[in-house]
C-alpha cells in the first residue's frame, strides 16, 4: 500500500491599510498603478521602512497557530528576475523568520507548521490577448504577506483540505486576513511525494503551484498521488519538479525541473534593521486573540447540545454563530433557533445572494417568532410564510395582525369542514376505520389546504378521533 506525504505552503495577504515598506494603500479595487511610490516601484535610492502593523498581524497569526516567536528576526533579499518584480529581488525572511514550529490539531491528529515568515508581494502581470501583450500593475507590489509552511505531516488530500479550512478560518477569526482565495489574498501551493507505508520520507517532492480553491487543492493532490503510484509501480524514478494544475484538463503539467530551479542567492537585506518584538508586545497581543474556530465548534457542541455537523456550520459562519448566541439569550429553544438559522435563513441568503448583515433580522424577532409557534398563536407553516418579512425587520406580531392571519381555533368551523370531508371521502374513511390510522394525515392535509394552513392541527386531530374512532 502506498501513502502520500503532503506539505502545504500558504501565502496570505495581511489586512493592513498600507504596504509593508511604504505608505501606499493596499486597496484591492484601485485603478492599476495608482497605489505606487518609489519604494514599492524599487526605484534606485528609495529606502524601505517596516510597517509595525504587519509585524503585529504576523505575530498574531503565529500565536494563534501555536508557533514560537523569534523576538529578533531578520529580512533577506531573494534575488530573481521577473517583470512584475521591479527591484530584481523580493524582501523576505530567510534564516531567522519571525516564528518557528507550531501546529494545528485536526480530528485528533497534529499537523506541524515549520515556520511563518513575513515577506512582500510582487506586482501583477496581466496578459492580454488582443493584441497580445502583457501589462504590469504594481498596486500589489509591496503588499505584506505571511508565508506559512507546514511539515510534511499531511497524508491525504482530504486532510490537506481540512487543514487549509481551519488555517483560513483562523486567520479570518483573528482579523489578519480576509481569506479571499478568488481575489488571491490567500494562495496555496502543495507538495506531494509517495512512499510505501512504513518507508522513510521520500527523497523527492513534486510541488504544485497556485491551488487557489479547495476543489483544485483536492483534485490536484489526488491526481498527482495516483500518477506517482503508477510511476512507482512501473519502476520509474520520480524526480523533484514544479508543476501547475491545469484547471481545464484536470491534470498537473510540468513547469520546471529541479535543475531549472532558481538559485535565489539569499543575503541579508542591508536597508532594514532587525525586526524586534518586545515582551510587552507579546503580552499585549496575546490578549487580542479571540476564540479560535475549533474552540468555537467544541463549545457549540457542548453548550448547545449540537452534533458535529451543526457545530461545524457555526464554526464556518461566525456571523451567524454570533446571531445564534444572541438569540439563545432571549429564548432557550436552541433546537428551533438552529433550525431557523441553518435551514430557513440560509435558504433565503442563498436564493437572494445576500449576507446576514444585508437584512434587518434581529435575535428578538426570531425569539418572538419561535414563541408564537410554541404558544400555538400561529402554525409552523404560517411562521415560515411570514419569515421573509421578519427578515426585513418586521415584527411577526405586526405581520400577523396586518395580514389578518391567525390560527383558526374555531372548533365549530373546523368540525363542519371535517364532516363535509368525511361525507365526500368514503374510501379514505373506510381505510382509516379498517385500522390505517395513518390516514389521519390525509384529513389533516385537506383541511390545512382548505384553510391555507391556518387551522390548528391539534383541533383537527381531536375531531378526527371524535368522528372516526367511535
Cα torsion 34, 37, 43, 48: sign: negative
How many residues does this entry show for the chain?
470
Choose between 24 and 61: whose C-beta lies nearer to Zn ion: 24
Residues within window 274-313 making contact with Zn ion, judged by CB under 5 A: none
Choose between 144 and 453: whose C-beta lies nearer to Zn ion: 144
Q: How far is the CB of 228 from Zn ion (least distance, A)?
A: 43
Q: Which stretch binds Zn ion (CB under 5 A): 36-44, 158-166, 390-398, 401-409?
A: 36-44
Please write down the long-range contacts of 366-369, taking CB distance under 8 Å and 24 or more positions apart.
Answer: 366/327, 366/331, 366/337, 366/340, 366/341, 366/390, 367/327, 367/330, 367/331, 368/395, 368/396, 368/397, 369/340, 369/396
Kindly state whether residue 143 participates in binding Zn ion, applying the rule CB under 5 A.
Answer: no
Angstrom CA distances, 346 to 122, 291, 342, 426, stand at 38, 24, 6, 43
Kindly state whether residue 50 participates in binding Zn ion, applying the rule CB under 5 A.
Answer: no
- The helix or strand, by DSSP H or E, that contains position 68, with its residue range, turns out to be strand 68-69
Q: How far is the CB of 22 from Zn ion (least distance, A)?
A: 3
- The helix or strand, by DSSP H or E, that contains position 106, with its residue range, turns out to be strand 99-106
Choose between 27 and 196: whose C-beta lies nearer to Zn ion: 27
Choose between 51 and 317: whose C-beta lies nearer to Zn ion: 51
Choose between 40 and 148: whose C-beta lies nearer to Zn ion: 40
Q: How far is the CB of 248 from Zn ion (least distance, A)?
A: 36
Q: Which stretch binds Zn ion (CB under 5 A): 37-45, 149-157, 161-169, 284-292?
A: 37-45
Q: How far is the CB of 352 from Zn ion (least distance, A)?
A: 40
Choose between 39 and 145: whose C-beta lies nearer to Zn ion: 39
| Residue 356, phi then psi, degrees to nearest 5 | -55, -35
Identified binder of Zn ion from the candidate list 37, 46, 96, 405, rule CB under 5 A: 37
The three grid cell numbers given for residue 62, joined into one nine-digit string: 503565529
**Contact of 171 with 293, CB cutoff 8 Å:** no
Kindly state whether residue 40 participates in binding Zn ion, applying the rule CB under 5 A.
Answer: yes
Size of the site for Zn ion (CB under 5 A): 5
Choose between 39 and 58: whose C-beta lies nearer to Zn ion: 39
Draw the binding track, 5-24, toward Zn ion (x: CB under 5 A; -: no contact): -----------------x-x
Q: Which stretch binds Zn ion (CB under 5 A): 26-34, 38-46, 241-249, 321-329?
A: 38-46
Contacts of 241 (CB under 8 A, 6+ apart): 206, 207, 254, 255, 256, 257, 258
Choose between 24 and 391: whose C-beta lies nearer to Zn ion: 24
3-state secondary structure of 320: helix
Please name which of 291, 262, 70, 92 lies closest in space to residue 173, comparing C-alpha atoms.
291
Q: How far is the CB of 19 from Zn ion (least distance, A)?
A: 5
Choose between 51 and 185: whose C-beta lies nearer to Zn ion: 51
3-state secondary structure of 411: helix
**Contact of 372 with 382, CB cutoff 8 Å:** no
Q: Residue 138: count other Cβ atoms within 10 Å of its Cβ.
A: 22
Q: How far is the CB of 395 from Zn ion (least distance, A)?
A: 51
Binding stretches for Zn ion (CB under 5 A): 22, 24, 37, 39-40
Amino acid at each position: 500500500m502506498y501513502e502520500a506525504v503532503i506539505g502545504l505552503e500558504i501565502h496570505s495577504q495581511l489586512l493592513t491599510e498600507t504596504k509593508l515598506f511604504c505608505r501606499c494603500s493596499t486597496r484591492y479595487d484601485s485603478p492599476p498603478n495608482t497605489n505606487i511610490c518609489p519604494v514599492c516601484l524599487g526605484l534606485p535610492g528609495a529606502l524601505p521602512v517596516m510597517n509595525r502593523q504587519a509585524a503585529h498581524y504576523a505575530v498574531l497569526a503565529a500565536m494563534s497557530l501555536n508557533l514560537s516567536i523569534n523576538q529578533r528576526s531578520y529580512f533577506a533579499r531573494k534575488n530573481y528576475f521577473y517583470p512584475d518584480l521591479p527591484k530584481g529581488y523580493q524582501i523576505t525572511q530567510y534564516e531567522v523568520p519571525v516564528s518557528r514550529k507550531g501546529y494545528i490539531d485536526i480530528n485528533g491528529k497534529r499537523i506541524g507548521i515549520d515556520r511563518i515568515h513575513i515577506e512582500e508581494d510582487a506586482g501583477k502581470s496581466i496578459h492580454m490577448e488582443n493584441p497580445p501583450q502583457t501589462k504590469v500593475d504594481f498596486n500589489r507590489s509591496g503588499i505584506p504577506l505571511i508565508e506559512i509552511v507546514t511539515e510534511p505531516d499531511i497524508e491525504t488530500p482530504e486532510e490537506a483540505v481540512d487543514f487549509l479550512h481551519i488555517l483560513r478560518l483562523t486567520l479570518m477569526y483573528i482579523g489578519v486576513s480576509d481569506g479571499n482565495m478568488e481575489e488571491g489574498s490567500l494562495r496555496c501551493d502543495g507538495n506531494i511525494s509517495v512512499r510505501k507505508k512504513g518507508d522513510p520520507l521520500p527523497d523527492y517532492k513534486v510541488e504544485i503551484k497556485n491551488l487557489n480553491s479547495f476543489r483544485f487543492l483536492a483534485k490536484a493532490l489526488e491526481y498527482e498521488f495516483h500518477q506517482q503510484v503508477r510511476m512507482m509501480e512501473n519502476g520509474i524514478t520520480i524526480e523533484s519538479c514544479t508543476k501547475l494544475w491545469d484547471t481545464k484538463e484536470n491534470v498537473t503539467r510540468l513547469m520546471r525541473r529541479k535543475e531549472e530551479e532558481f538559485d535565489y542567492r539569499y543575503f541579508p537585506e542591508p536597508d532594514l534593521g532587525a525586526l524586534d518584538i518586545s515582551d510587552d508586545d507579546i503580552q499585549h497581543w496575546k490578549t487580542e486573540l479571540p476564540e479560535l474556530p475549533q474552540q468555537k465548534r467544541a463549545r457549540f457542541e457542548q453548550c448547545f447540545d449540537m452534533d458535529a455537523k451543526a457545530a461545524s456550520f457555526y464554526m464556518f459562519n461566525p456571523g451567524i454563530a454570533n446571531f445564534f448566541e444572541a438569540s439563545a439569550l432571549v429564548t432557550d429553544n436552541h433546537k428551533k433557533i438552529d433550525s431557523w438559522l441553518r435551514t430557513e435563513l440560509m435558504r433565503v441568503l442563498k436564493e437572494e445572494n445576500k449576507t446576514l448583515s444585508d437584512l434587518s433580522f434581529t435575535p428578538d424577532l426570531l425569539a418572538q417568532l419561535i414563541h408564537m409557534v410554541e404558544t400555538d398563536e400561529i402554525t409552523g407553516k404560517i411562521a415560515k410564510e411570514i419569515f421573509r418579512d421578519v427578515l426585513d425587520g418586521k415584527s411577526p406580531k405586526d405581520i400577523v395582525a396586518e395580514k389578518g392571519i391567525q390560527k383558526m381555533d374555531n372548533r365549530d368551523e373546523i368540525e363542519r369542514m371535517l364532516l363535509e370531508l368525511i361525507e365526500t371521502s368514503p374510501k379514505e374513511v373506510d381505510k382509516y376505520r379498517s385500522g390505517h390510522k395513518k390516514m389521519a394525515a390525509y384529513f389533516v392535509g385537506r383541511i390545512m389546504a382548505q384553510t391555507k394552513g391556518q387551522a390548528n392541527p391539534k383541533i383537527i386531530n381531536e375531531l378526527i378521533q371524535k368522528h372516526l374512532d367511535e
